């Protein structure tokens, strides 16, 4: 799998090909009725260094668009929205010791959880492919830049 990259100022934003994306900042990699999920490179870059993560318990049923957990950064604390519905069957235990993996490798070692999917075909209607997310992300980067320029 490859990546698309968007360079803006000193930042490089990556979008991994062949996976799905939710508008609220999570990615989904479908694997035989299950989905590995994590936060996007754009999301982690925008929100800063991850200090801690707290996910809903293994065994919890979640719906697409509902809260999956929360992340605390050096700047702010915020909720993570589940990009798909199903049952949480695994957490990335490495994040308990090293939450910074989310910043260092959001599409690899920084994954969050695995969910046993309940209805991926329905959930997929609210997800974007890598090209669509790339275009969405570029627009968001430009909007954020304009917002910051307005605050100067």
pLDDT digits (tens, 9 = 90+) for 12-42: 889 999 999 999 999 999 999 999 999 999 9
Distance between CA atoms of residues 37 and 26, nearest Å: 7
For residues 147 and 63, which has the higher predicted lDDT (pLDDT)? Answer: 63
Give the residues across from 80 on adjacent strands: 69
pLDDT for residue 1: 64
Under 8 Å between Cβ of 6 and 13: yes
What integer is the mean pLDDT of 45-55? 93
| Domain locations along the chain | 24-126
Distance of CA 25 to the CA centre of its chain: 4
Domain 24-126 has CATH 2.40.50.100: yes
Work out the pLDDT band at 82, boundaries 50, 70, 90: very high
Determine what percent of the chain is predicted with pLDDT higher than 90: 78
Residue 11 has pLDDT above 90, yes or no: no
pLDDT at 61 over 90: yes
């Amino acid at each position: 799998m490859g990546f698309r990259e968007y360079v803006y100022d000193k930042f490089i934003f990556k979008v991994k090909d062949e996976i799905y994306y939710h508008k609220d900042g999570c990615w989904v990699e479908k694997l035989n009725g299950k989905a590995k999920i994590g936060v996007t490179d754009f999301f982690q870059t925008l929100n800063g260094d991850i200090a801690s993560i707290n996910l809903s318990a293994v065994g919890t049923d979640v719906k697409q668009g509902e809260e999956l957990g929360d992340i605390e950064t050096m700047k702010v604390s915020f909720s993570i929205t589940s990009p798909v519905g199903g049952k949480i069957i695994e957490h990335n235990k490495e994040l308990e010791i090293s939450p910074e993996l989310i910043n260092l490798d959001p599409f690899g070692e920084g994954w969050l959880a695995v969910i046993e999917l309940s209805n991926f075909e329905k959930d997929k209607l609210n997800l974007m492919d890598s090209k669509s997310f790339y275009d969405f992300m570029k627009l968001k980067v430009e909007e954020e830049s304009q917002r910051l320029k307005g605050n100067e």
